[in-house]
Structure 1
Amino acid sequence: MCSRPTSAWRMHKPPRERLPVWLRRAWPQSLLGRLSLVMVAGLLVTQLTASAIWASQLRAKAQVEAQSASLYMANGAAGAIRYFRSLPANYRLLQIQQLREMGGTRFFVNLNSSYVPVREIAPHPLARSVIDTIGAALKTDLPHSPSFHLAFAWPDQLVVSGDDVRLADLPDAWVQHILLLKPDPAPILVIQTEIEPGNWLYMAALMPNPYFLSGNDPLAWDRLALQGLSLAVVLLLCLLVVRSITRPLAALSDAAAAFGQDERAPPLPETGSREFINTARAFSAMRERIQRYIEDRERLFISISHDLRTPITRLKLRSELLDDESLRNEFEEDLDELDMMVKGALQCVKDSDIHENPAEIKLDALLGRLVRSAQLAGHTVAWQAAGMTVRAKPLALKRAVGNLLDNALFYGQRAEIRTYSAPGTVTIAVRDHGPGVPEDAFASLFDPYVRLAHGRERNDGGMGLGLGIARGIIEAHDGQLILENHPEGGLNAIIRLPA
Structure 2
Amino acid sequence: MNTLRAKITALLVASVLLVVLAATGLSVLLLAPPRMDQVDDAIAAQWGLVAEMVARGALPDTLQNEFVGIHDSEPAGDIIENATHGINAALAHNGRSERIVVKDGAGLPWPVVAGRLADGRWLAIPLGMPPPGPKNGGWALAGWALFIAIGTTLVIVVAVRRLTEPLALLERTVATLGPDGELEPLPEAGPTEVRAAARAINLLSTRLKRAMESRIRMVAAAGHDLRTPMTRMRLRAEFLDEEERANWIADLDELDRIADSAIRVVREEVERSSRTCLRLDELVSEVVAELVAIGLAISLASTAPASVVARPLALRRAIRNLAINAATHGHKAIIRVEAEHGRAAVVIEDEGPGIPEELMLRVFEPFFRIDTVKDAPVPGAGLGLAIAREIITGNDGTLELRNGPRGGLVQRIGLPTVITS
Distance across 1 between alignment mates of 2:43 and 2:392 = 86
Instruction: Give the match's secondary structure for 1:441.
Output: helix
String of CA shifts for 1:98-154, please: whole Å, max 9, x gaps.
94427759998xxxxxxxxx9x78xxxxx9xx978x6886576x2x579x999xxxx
Query: What CA distance in whole angstroms lies between the structure 2 residues aligned with 1:105 and 1:47?
Result: 46
Is 1:101 the counterpart of 2:20? The answer is no
Distance in 2, Cα, partners of 1:107 & 1:355: 90
Pairwise CA distance, 1:212: 3.1
Q: What is the 5 A alignment of 1:202-351?
A: 208-212=129-133, 214=135, 217=138, 219-220=140-141, 223=144, 227=148, 230-231=151-152, 234-235=155-156, 237-238=158-159, 241=162, 244-246=165-167, 248-249=169-170, 252-253=173-174, 257=177, 261=180, 265-266=184-185, 269=188, 272-273=191-192, 277=196, 279-322=197-240, 324-351=241-268
Moved more, 299-308 or 328-337: 299-308
Aligned match of 2:45: 75
Task: Give how far 1:451 is off.
Answer: 1.9
Q: Map 1:4-153 onto structure 2 (within 5 A).
A: 27-28=1-2, 31=3, 34-36=4-6, 38-39=8-9, 42-43=12-13, 46-47=16-17, 49-51=19-21, 53-54=23-24, 56-58=26-28, 60-64=30-34, 69-76=39-46, 79=49, 99-101=70-72, 104=75, 142=94
Q: State the TM-score, normalizing by the size of structure 2.
A: 0.72
Q: Distance in 1 between matches of 2:397 and 2:214?
A: 28
1:101 counterpart letter in structure 2: D
Match of 1:494 in 2: 412
Q: Which runs of no fewer than 5 residues in structure 2 stay unpaired?
A: 57-68, 119-123
Q: CA deviation at 1:50?
A: 0.8
Select 1:376's aligned residue among 273, 288, 293.
293
How big is the shift at 1:347?
2.7
Q: What residue is the counterpart of 2:121 in the other structure?
A: none
Q: Cα gap change, 1:74/1:473 in structure 2, threshold over 3 Å: closer, same or farther?
A: farther
- What SS does structure 2 have at the residue aligned with 1:63? coil
User: How far does residue 492 in structure 1 lie from its aligned partner after superposition?
Assistant: 1.6
Distance in 2, matches of 1:371 and 1:204, equals: 110
Q: Secondary structure at the match of 1:496?
A: strand
User: What's the offset of the Cα at 1:244?
Assistant: 4.2
Bigger shift: 401-410 or 279-288? 279-288
Q: Distance in 2 between matches of 1:280 and 1:321?
A: 63
**Equivalent-residue separation in structure 2 for 1:206 and 1:272 (angstroms):** 61
Q: CA deviation at 1:187?
A: 11
Indicate yes or no: 2:361 matched with 1:446: no
Distance 1:66 1:190 in 2: 19
Distance in 2 between residues matched to 1:492 and 1:187, nearest whole Å: 92
| 1:408, distance to aligned residue in structure 2 (A) | 1.8
1:365 to 2:286 alignment: no
Aligned 8 A contact 1:69 1:208 in 2: no
Aligned length, in residue pairs: 400
* Highest RCO, 1 vs 2 (Cα 8 Å, sep ≥ 6): 1
How does the TM-score come out when normalised to structure 1? 0.63
Aligned to 1:392: 310
For 2:252 and 2:318, the matched residues in 1 are separated by 29
Q: Report if the CA contact (8 A) 1:62-1:212 is conserved.
A: no
Q: What are the superposed Cα offsets for residues 390-443 of structure 1, whole Å, 9 maximum, x if unpaired? A: 3333333333332222222223313232323347x5443322233333233234
What residue is the counterpart of 2:329 in the other structure? Answer: 411
Aligned residues of 1:268 and 1:284 also touching (Cα < 8 A) = no
Per the alignment, residue 169 of structure 1 pairs with: none
Counterpart residue identity of residue 269, structure 1 = E
Contact 2:182-2:209 within 8 A present in 1 as well: no
Name the % identity.
25
The alpha-carbon deviation at position 465 of structure 1 amounts to: 0.9
Question: What is the CA–CA distance in structure 2 between the aligned matches of 1:35 and 1:498, rounded to whole Å?
Answer: 32
Root mean square deviation of aligned Cα: 4.9
* Structure 1 SS opposite 2:132: coil
Contact (CA 8 Å) 2:177, 2:183: kept in 1 or not? no
Aligned partners of 1:62 and 1:216 also within 8 Å? no
CA distance in 2, matches of 1:269, 1:479: 32
- Could you tell me which amino acid in structure 2 is paired with residue 315 of structure 1? M
Q: Where in structure 2 are the equivalents of 1:168-179 lying within 5 Å?
A: 178-179=103-104
Per the alignment, residue 61 of structure 2 pairs with none
Quote how far apart the aligned CAs of 1:461 are: 0.5
Per-residue deviation at 1:335?
2.3
Q: Render the CA deviation track for 1:218-273: whole Å, top value 9, x for unaligned.
A: 7358746853673365156336515744564356437x725x63768346527644
Secondary structure class of the residue paired with 2:346: strand
- Greater Cα offset, 261-270 or 390-399: 261-270
Look up the equivalent residue of 1:430 and give its one-letter code: I
Quick one: which amino acid aligns to residue 159 of structure 2? C
